[in-house]
Amino acid sequence: MKKIITSLSFLLLTAVSFAQYTAIPDANFENALAAYDDIPNDGQVPTANISGITYLNVTGENISDLTGIEGFTSLERLFCGNNLLTTLDVSQNTALYELFCFENQLTTLDLSQNPAMKFLNCRSNNISTLNITNNLILEELDCSSNQLTSFDATQLAALRILIVSSNSINTLDISQNILLTDIWCFSNQLNSLDVSSNLNLKVLGCVGNSITELDLSNNSSLIKLWAYQNNLTILDVRNGNNVNIPTDDFKIDQNPNLTCVSVDDVAYAEANWTNIDAQTSFELDCALSVSDFESSQISLYPNPATNSFKIESPYTLSSVVIYDYLGRVVANFENQTSYNVSNLNSGIYFVNVSSEGIKTIKKLIVK
């Protein structure tokens, strides 16, 4: 009899162990787990069927609640983007190293219990609080199009790709992220950006900020610079690698106060880097280019001009180039004393005056 009771007890315990379930309250989530379910639409799945899963992709399944993800205790890669999630708790998924939760409705994301995380994409949510301070081996991060007002990357020494565009960040300290190769920080509230420590930097996109100075002289690996729509007054690109930045990868237009860019090769820059404003020119060293005093000694008259204008200068003029407001060359003169503009439409133009190695930009109004 004792043996029979023991056997029955063993069978009962075995049955109980096999009957353990993980609650899945969201019907769409349960439907997405059909391959691991035993009874459809009962709000649960067998825990034994999911506890060993390492990869799960439930992207675009109209899921509002990911409760039950804690049962995936071996999960390493989770793709749950393009759903309706307002919260996401992956604190029990301690083996997780890749998370793509983009295009949801998350307001916070806490990954403090996920030290194995290497790849995170949480773009296009409503996140205002992002806890990644314990993700010390994080390599790639895209948290663009959220509600972040601050961002701390100082502990992320392994970071290689950082995308924080379309937030409200006003400071970005990346001095400790020496492995960074790509930085995208479009449309934030940055007034400054120091990349002098990022010697591996290849791509910098900082469009749509209020950055006034940008020193890229240490970034000898740079192959792409998009810095248009800022308030640049100083730009130094003398990094020994200018010839490896093609036309479409150098964009610095819509910086109305940028008159000079320091470069390695003026001829290459003038021939290839055409995405600039009319008032912007290239020099080997802008600090040695025309001073305010020298510029003040050069004047155009009459200004506004109708048919022609002259230039008053204490220097010997070598060339005069006129640009329209879009930066296109509309006239080019050499060794002349009077400059005919009768063929130009009424409007504002910029006159690039070269004289004895000095260049200066003057505004000309044509009526």
Written as six digits, the tokens of 66 are 């990911």
Say what the pLDDT of residue 347 is.
Answer: 86
User: Cα–Cα distances in Å, from 287 out to 173, 235, 294, 358?
Assistant: 27, 11, 13, 12
The arithmetic mean of pLDDT across residues 234-238, rounded, is 96
What is the per-residue pLDDT across 54-74, written as a single tens digit (0 to 9) for each?
999 999 999 999 999 999 999
Contact 163, 143 (CB under 8 A): yes
Q: How far apart are CA 284 and CA 196, in angstroms?
A: 20
Res. 17: pLDDT tops 60: no
Q: Which residues 6+ apart lie within 8 Å of 265 measured at CB? A: 242, 243
What is the per-residue pLDDT across 290-345, written as a single tens digit (0 to 9) for each?
444 446 678 899 999 999 999 988 888 888 988 876 567 899 998 888 999 999 99
Say what the pLDDT of residue 286 is.
Answer: 83
Say what the pLDDT of residue 357 is.
Answer: 62
List beta partners, residue 142. Answer: 121, 163
One-letter amino acid for residue 188 of the chain: N
Contact 321, 331 (CB under 8 A): yes
The arithmetic mean of pLDDT across residues 143-172, rounded, is 96
Q: Which CATH number fits domain 2-288: 3.40.190.10, 3.80.10.10, 3.20.20.140, 2.60.120.580?
A: 3.80.10.10
How much of the chain exceeds pLDDT 90, in percent? 77
Res. 16: pLDDT tops 80: no
Q: For the ranges 12-16, 57-61, 258-262, 356-360, which has the lowest average pLDDT?
A: 12-16
Q: For the ranges 21-25, 319-323, 358-362, which has the lowest average pLDDT?
A: 358-362
Q: How far apart are CA 240 and CA 159, in angstroms?
A: 25
The arithmetic mean of pLDDT across residues 135-164, rounded, is 96
Say what the pLDDT of residue 9 is.
Answer: 40
Domain ranges of the chain: 2-288, 292-366
* More confident position, 7 or 202: 202
Across the chain, mean pLDDT equals 90
One-letter amino acid for residue 136 of the chain: L
How much of the chain exceeds pLDDT 70, in percent? 91
Say what the pLDDT of residue 285 is.
Answer: 84
One-letter amino acid for residue 199 of the chain: L
Res. 49: pLDDT tops 90: yes
The beta-carbon contacts of 71-79 under 8 Å, at least 24 apart in sequence, are 71/22, 71/45, 71/47, 76/116
Q: Do domains 2-288 and 292-366 have the same CATH topology?
A: no
What is the per-residue pLDDT across 279-288, written as a single tens digit (0 to 9) for each?
999 998 887 6
Quick one: pLDDT band at residue 226, thresholds 50, 70, 90? very high
Say what the pLDDT of residue 131 is.
Answer: 95
Say what the pLDDT of residue 61 is.
Answer: 98
Distance of CA 38 to the CA centre of its chain: 45
The arithmetic mean of pLDDT across residues 115-122, rounded, is 98
Give burial (CB, 10 Å; 0-12/13-18/19+) of 283: middle
Q: How far apart are CA 62 and CA 349, in angstroms?
A: 55
Nearest to 142 by CA among 118, 158, 175: 118
Say what the pLDDT of residue 15 is.
Answer: 36
Say what the pLDDT of residue 356 is.
Answer: 66
Contact 38, 17 (CB under 8 A): no
Scanning the structure block, which residue is given the tokens 């049962």?
71
Q: How far apart are CA 106 and CA 125, in angstroms?
A: 5
Scanning the structure block, which residue is given the tokens 């640049």?
232
Say what the pLDDT of residue 353 is.
Answer: 86
Say what the pLDDT of residue 327 is.
Answer: 61
Architecture of domain 292-366: Sandwich (2.60)
Quick one: pLDDT band at residue 350, thresholds 50, 70, 90? confident
Quick one: pLDDT band at residue 8, thresholds 50, 70, 90? very low
Say what the pLDDT of residue 234 is.
Answer: 94
Q: What is the pTM of this model?
A: 0.77
Contact 269, 263 (CB under 8 A): yes
* More confident position, 54 or 6: 54
Distance of CA 288 to the CA centre of its chain: 33
The arithmetic mean of pLDDT across residues 156-179, rounded, is 97
